[in-house]
Structure 1
Amino acid sequence: MDTIDDTVAAAAPCAVLFDRDDTLIVDVPYLADPAGVRPVPGAAEQLNRLRAAGIRVGVVSNQSGVAAGLISPAQLAAVNARVEELLGPFDTWQVCTHGRDDGCRCRKPEPGLVIDAAAALGTVPADCVLIGDIGSDVAAAVAAGARAVLVPTAKTRPEEIAYAREVALVAPDLADAVTLALSGTSRKDVLS
């Protein structure tokens, strides 16, 4: 008979991908100063939990402030470097710097960032879980064929939560989201 730990290990994803703003760090619109990076409480512990389990971690983030000229690519790189200083290294960073109306394939809710992150990690989206705080995170994961867990914040709209409950999972906090990611549970499993 399998133990719970054996079951979790067998079902664990190859990678867990995270949205950056309001999932890993406190959202500051168009953050250009690395000194403004503040991790979400518990983020470092949950990332270390995944790393200790041998799960690769990555970031998939829309950063349209670059296209709008509100932050430079160098400022974005400095902020992301500060995120790594505070939260540890990520196995991949996939960032869309296009504007909202550019029609790219990468800006969430499009699946490009998730597909590219999986490829960079040598896996496929179906073996990944994306944890984020808004509906476009969930939609990007679903469109790519990955699992998703929504962690609502005060900025998450009720319709985004309702959508996530239909196609993904919803967790009250990052710790529970990581537990769900490690469990292998998907919305399909919950509904059956």
Structure 2
Amino acid sequence: MERIVYLRLRHRLQVKPHETIVLSDVAQLIADDEVYDKLANLLLYRVSKEDKNIIIIDVMQVIKHITKCFPSLEIQTVGPTQIIVEVAVKRRKVSLPLFMLIWFLLFFGAALTIMNFHEDVSMQEVQQKIYTLITGEVDSRPLIFQIPYSIGLGLGMILFFNHVFKKRLNEEPSPLEVEMFNYQMDLDNYVSLHENKESMKNIDER
């Protein structure tokens, strides 16, 4: 009687250079206790110098390795058909002068953007007119509106991005996190299609 193994590939895996990849690293398994440990430790891939920072492992490669070592097993796959393996290269520490330069560029760039936007929509004139309508007086610098508006602008940015430094305000993802997630998913789909040699076949390769 054939024993059934249920296999679900993970979406992404991060490994170090020259590391070995076993089946339990790339997939979730449901199997009999007799074969589970052997399957979990089955060698699938060994990262080498020739590999770049992205490796694609297809479910067909995984099934081929399993059936070669365990021909009597019946394999049922669930979920993704590919896993993206990212080879994590040790990054250099960012120098403090470079960090400060980038910080100043972002800070003053954002400040200029907000100032130019307010100038385009004539924010100061609008606040002056609102102050005149409410109080009946003319004031070229209605600080009673400008100060709360400036504070509210900062608080609004904090609420929008849902972060105070590294602390999250609630469990809901911010719009920036959603956009980064969508970008990462699109990037993963592109890499899966273009890095996996088995997903495309040219006419010259027949």
Q: State TM-score, norm by structure 1.
A: 0.20
The higher-RCO structure (CA 8 Å, 6+ apart) is 1
Structure with greater helix percent: 2
Structure with greater strand percent: 2
Larger Rg: 2
